[in-house]
Copies of this chain bind each other. A is one copy, B any other.
Amino acid sequence: MSKNEATTIEIGETSKESKGKAPLLGAAHVEHARAGYKRGVSIFDLVLRISAATAALAATVTMGTTEQTLPFFTQFFQFQASYDDLPSFTFFVIAMSIATGYLVLSVPFSIVCIARPLLTAPRLLLILCDTLTLTLTTSAAASSAAIVYLAHNGNSDANWLAICQQFGDFCRRTSGAVVASFVAVALLIFMVVLSALGLRKH
């Protein structure tokens, strides 16, 4: 009787194995497809990250090097405008340098996500830091945009006069920096959403 049972179980095992082969292969296939999907998301993330770093760097450099000295001066005073005359522009330069630094330093993590597409820890770290950088970049861009708007248009109710008639070149360059920072904001939004897509179960 014991010999009979052993035989039966052996046959049972074999039949189970042959039955199990197809789903096992299917699971490996699904796993492979998921890794491919996540790798594709990570490659796209890396491209966006490098573009955002470039935009942030351009914004920082443009704002940081802006300086205009008017060609006329009085006996006691020379008219000059640079970014550190306005606190919002100083904040802009500091915040955008931090964002540029973070985006460059996060490139290795993005490469880890390409090499090991099924790991979730680096993705979670990236989505957390990306969200914080998005907030920092947006606040820098928006506060500078408010000041640039005021410099262009002035405000009659508060009796603040537009300064762009005198400092035209200064205004054009700061506007350019603000536009570049909004490009970085848009790219960061895409990166956060893309990381969320990479995190979900496929």
Which A residues are closer than 8 A to B by beta carbons?
8-9, 11-13, 15-16, 81, 85-88, 120, 123-124, 127-128, 131-132, 134-135, 138-147, 149-151, 153, 155, 157-161, 163, 185, 189, 192-193, 195-197, 199-201
- Whether A157 contacts B85 by the Cβ 8 Å rule is yes
CA distance A123 to B144 in the complex (A): 33
- Whether B8 contacts A120 by the Cβ 8 Å rule is no
Partner of A196, one of B11, B124, B142, B161: B124
Partner of A138, one of B87, B120, B138: B138
CA distance A145 to B127 in the complex (A): 26
Please name all residues of chain B whose beta carbon is closer than 8 Å to the beta carbon of A11 when the two chains form the complex: 8-9, 12
- Whether B86 contacts A155 by the Cβ 8 Å rule is yes
Partner of A15, one of B12, B131, B196: B12
Please name all residues of chain B whose beta carbon is closer than 8 Å to the beta carbon of A140 when the two chains form the complex: 142
Partner of A142, one of B13, B138, B201: B138
CA distance A87 to B147 in the complex (A): 11
Q: How far is the CB of A79 from chain B (nearest CB, A)?
A: 10
CA distance A35 to B170 in the complex (A): 56
Please name all residues of chain B whose beta carbon is closer than 8 Å to the beta carbon of A131 when the two chains form the complex: 131, 134, 189, 192-193
- Whether B199 contacts A128 by the Cβ 8 Å rule is no
Partner of A199, one of B81, B132, B158, B200: B200
Q: How far is the CB of A184 from chain B (nearest CB, A)?
A: 12
Partner of A87, one of B85, B149, B151: B149
CA distance A200 to B12 in the complex (A): 38
Please name all residues of chain B whose beta carbon is closer than 8 Å to the beta carbon of A138 when the two chains form the complex: 135, 138-139, 142
Please give 19 more A-B residue pairs, beta carbons under 8 A apart, in addition to A131-B189, A150-B160, A196-B199: A8-B12, A12-B15, A81-B157, A85-B158, A87-B153, A120-B201, A124-B196, A127-B196, A131-B134, A131-B192, A131-B193, A132-B189, A139-B145, A143-B145, A146-B146, A158-B160, A160-B161, A195-B196, A199-B200
